[in-house]
Chain A
Amino acid sequence: MEIVTCILAGLLFATAIYNLLQKQLIRIIIGTGLLSHGAHLFILTMGGLKGGKSPILNEDVSNYTDPLPQALILTSIVISFGITSLLLVLAYRAANDNGTDNMDQLRGNKNE
């Protein structure tokens, strides 16, 4: 099971990089979203998947999922939400002010 999720995380990373290398701003932002999904899935996998066991350690529970990765992911997801929304606003303003959402034209100043 871990192998499958690892491969899936790898695929997410690959798609993310492909999208990051595009010229349209919105596709780049989708790329960043996929990148963080890949990373989160990867953290979850690294904690070990125990086939749907709950992340609780009680006296009568002996088989449990590692709760730490879940705590880590929660933090990381909140952060990536924040950054994604910031990036969307930023892209909107940049596209409005520059009149284009193409990265090639964003760099084109007169003397650069």
Chain B
Amino acid sequence: MSNLAVLPIIIPLFAGIILAFFPTKVKLLRALTKIFSISSLLVVAYIAWQVINHGPIILETGNWPAPYGIILVADPLAIILVLTTNIITVACAFFAPHSVTLKQEQHYFYSFMFFLITGVSGAFLTGDLFNLFVFFEVLLMASYALIVLGGDKVQLRESIKYVLINLFSSMLFVTAVAFLYGVVGTVNMAHIAERVQEVDQKGILTTIGLLFFFVFATKAALFPLFYWMPKSYIVPNPVISALFGALLTKVGIYSIIRVFSLIFIYKLDMTHQMFIWIAGLSMIFGILGAFSTNNVKLIIAYNIIPAIGFIIMGIGVFEQDAVSGAVYYLVHDMIIKAVLFLIVGVVAYVAGTSDLRKMGGLIHYYPVLGWLLFVSAFILAGIPPFSGFIAKLLLLKGTLANGEIAITIIALASSLLILYSVMKIFIKGFWGEKNSKYETEKKSTKGLIGPIIFLLTFSVILGIGAEFFYPTIEGISTYLLDPEVYIDAVLKE
């Protein structure tokens, strides 16, 4: 039974290995990728159902009891994020054959994609900090390979910066783990939480907490550590951008949620108050970035930053509604960012350029694409009844109830500006006169629209069916606010 917890890691790992055996048989690769991604989704959906109905599944590898061995914890928060990850993988598996070049497919694109999923699932499920680092490295290694796949000049340049910044933060991560080990003498998260509670989080522990925050904030691209992110996310293929935009920064933010709802929660006025400020600044600077450019892909990449800001705002307030909002926003944002990256990928492909100034009138030739962009801009900005609205409603209810007026105003204003920054793509790219250039060389969008609609359906369901999902999300936030539950579940006291 408890072995279920390892399946979300094992299945993509084996898929990646098996696919690596025949890199040149492209048709087989595509078929197997679809089969593996769908079967993985079904398995994870079953596990999620089990976890939500019957409580967390905990796997103690090699039967070593909890504080000593390596453990995997499939709790509700982790498992819904793994589920979302797998939904996105399915969409990307179907999108990829029509978007990735044959050469990239033959250079182990699908294997690396599955290794990336292995790392992401592992990071969500692991129960100790050092394995969090290891799984971070697994996903980063795959992402290094994916970002440079194709070997364009610009890809090489951006990947060097990307590798360097991630290597630096990873080494700080190890150092932070070493510090924490030196102080509390364990790396198991539940055990750390228990010991930190015993000594009431002295000054040194808060400092270590902030070091962890610095590391995770770099990975999550929070203000002021986002400078490396937008350009490196737009250089690879749209599918890869979608995977990165949807998953990588979210692993960083998940780690912040985990560490700062479980371990470092006894100096709220210091750490969590700082989060609120950083959240506000992330929103402002992310929006400024999105306005500063005419590159459609870059606009979406910059939009990741305010989204991360919204989530960290929920953690900063650290109270029922706000945390529910943050979790809801996390799930919503993973899906909608994947959708938007895929859409702008198609837009850039059909227009032959990613520069907005050279586009116009696309709606006459690609009406479905245009309206998909329109709807997803609404979802992103949080227009009712879509999922963004529910998440933001919960978040803002939480912030207002706690008297954080300034951040509420910034959040509301930035929501409007987010809507405008994405609408700009619609207005400048899709409105306007018919352009004879697209008439003569109309490109086929066969196979590209399906996965986008598939993902968008989940986003819409998440909004319209909020009544159905809310109890689960509320359960997660109640559980996040009470670390005892996690500690008891893992250490079985």
Q: State the A residues within 8 Å of B (CB).
A: 20, 25, 28, 32, 35-36, 38-40, 42-43, 45-47, 68-69, 72, 75-76, 79-80, 82-83, 86-87, 90-91, 93-94, 97-98, 106-107, 109
Give Cα A75 to B170, complex, Å. 13
Nearest-neighbour CB distance to chain A for B199, whole angstroms, equals 17
Q: Which B residues lie within 8 Å of A36 (CB)?
A: 171, 174
Q: Which B residues lie within 8 Å of A86 (CB)?
A: 141, 144, 163
Q: Which A residues lie within 8 Å of B167 (CB)?
A: 32, 35, 83, 87
Name 27 interchain pairs, CB-CB below 8 A, sorted by A.
A28-B164, A32-B164, A35-B171, A38-B175, A39-B174, A42-B178, A46-B179, A46-B181, A68-B181, A72-B130, A72-B178, A75-B130, A76-B133, A79-B134, A79-B137, A79-B170, A82-B141, A83-B141, A83-B167, A86-B141, A87-B160, A87-B167, A90-B156, A91-B160, A94-B160, A97-B151, A97-B153
Give Cα A39 to B215, complex, Å. 14
Give Cα A97 to B130, complex, Å. 37
Partner of A47, one of B134, B179, B181: B181
Do A94 and B181 have beta carbons less than 8 Å apart? no
Do A98 and B134 have beta carbons less than 8 Å apart? no
Give Cα A89 to B26, complex, Å. 27
Do B178 and A39 have beta carbons less than 8 Å apart? yes
Known: A32-B164, A90-B148. A69 touches B181 (CB 8 A): yes
B side interface size, CB within 8 A: 29
Do B163 and A83 have beta carbons less than 8 Å apart? yes
Q: Which A residues lie within 8 Å of B98 (CB)?
A: none
Shortest Cβ distance from A40 into B: residue = B174
Q: Which A residues lie within 8 Å of B148 (CB)?
A: 90
Q: Which B residues lie within 8 Å of A79 (CB)?
A: 134, 137, 170
Partner of A97, one of B144, B156, B174, B181: B156
Nearest-neighbour CB distance to chain A for B4, whole angstroms, equals 25
Nearest-neighbour CB distance to chain A for B2, whole angstroms, equals 23
Shortest Cβ distance from B179 into A: residue = A46
Do A107 and B182 have beta carbons less than 8 Å apart? no
Give Cα A74 to B372, complex, Å. 49
Give Cα A13 to B132, complex, Å. 23
Give Cα A37 to B6, complex, Å. 32
Q: Which A residues lie within 8 Å of B177 (CB)?
A: 43, 72
Do A94 and B157 have beta carbons less than 8 Å apart? yes
Q: Which B residues lie within 8 Å of A98 (CB)?
A: 153, 156-157
Do A93 and B156 have beta carbons less than 8 Å apart? yes
Q: Which B residues lie within 8 Å of A106 (CB)?
A: 157, 160
Q: Does B5 lie at the interface of the complex (its beta carbon under 8 Å from any beta carbon of A)?
A: no
Nearest first, the 5 A-B pairs at minimum CB distance are A46-B182, A43-B178, A94-B156, A46-B178, A39-B174
Chain B 146-181 residues near chain A, CB threshold 8 A? 148, 151, 153-154, 156-157, 159-160, 163-164, 167-168, 170-172, 174-175, 177-179, 181
Nearest-neighbour CB distance to chain A for B37, whole angstroms, equals 26
Nearest-neighbour CB distance to chain A for B166, whole angstroms, equals 9
Do B163 and A87 have beta carbons less than 8 Å apart? yes
Nearest-neighbour CB distance to chain A for B430, whole angstroms, equals 25
Could you give, for residues 127-139 of chain B, a 1 whenever the CB lies within 8 Å of some chain A CB and a 0 otherwise? 0001001100100
Partner of A107, one of B133, B157, B163, B171: B157
Q: State the B residues within 8 Å of A (CB).
A: 130, 133-134, 137, 141, 144, 148, 151, 153-154, 156-157, 159-160, 163-164, 167-168, 170-172, 174-175, 177-179, 181-182, 187
Give Cα A8 to B403, complex, Å. 48
Q: Using a Cβ cutoff of 8 Å, how many contacts connect chains A and B? A: 89
Shortest Cβ distance from A2 into B: residue = B182
Give Cα A87 to B156, complex, Å. 11
Give Cα A40 to B170, complex, Å. 12
Q: Which B residues lie within 8 Å of A43 (CB)?
A: 174-175, 177-178, 181
Do B164 and A20 have beta carbons less than 8 Å apart? yes
Q: Which B residues lie within 8 Å of A75 (CB)?
A: 130, 134
Give Cα A35 to B167, complex, Å. 9
Q: Which A residues lie within 8 Å of B160 (CB)?
A: 25, 87, 90-91, 94, 106
Q: Which A residues lie within 8 Å of B179 (CB)?
A: 46
Q: Which A residues lie within 8 Å of B159 (CB)?
A: 90
Give Cα A36 to B170, complex, Å. 9
Task: Give 18 new A-B contacts, CB below 8 A, not counting A43-B175, A43-B178, A83-B167.
Answer: A32-B171, A35-B168, A38-B175, A39-B178, A42-B178, A43-B174, A43-B181, A45-B182, A46-B182, A68-B187, A69-B178, A72-B174, A76-B133, A79-B137, A93-B156, A94-B160, A97-B156, A106-B160
Q: Which A residues lie within 8 Å of B144 (CB)?
A: 83, 86, 90
Give Cα A47 to B178, complex, Å. 8
Q: Which A residues lie within 8 Å of B175 (CB)?
A: 38-39, 42-43
Nearest-neighbour CB distance to chain A for B87, whole angstroms, equals 29
Q: Which A residues lie within 8 Å of B130 (CB)?
A: 72, 75
Give Cα A87 to B153, complex, Å. 16
Shortest Cβ distance from B166 into A: residue = A83
Do B157 and A90 have beta carbons less than 8 Å apart? no
Nearest-neighbour CB distance to chain B for A111, whole angstroms, equals 10
Partner of A20, one of B141, B168, B181: B168
Nearest-neighbour CB distance to chain A for B184, whole angstroms, equals 11
Shortest Cβ distance from A32 into B: residue = B167
Which residue, B133, B157, B167, B172, has most C-beta atoms of chain A within 10 A?
Answer: B167
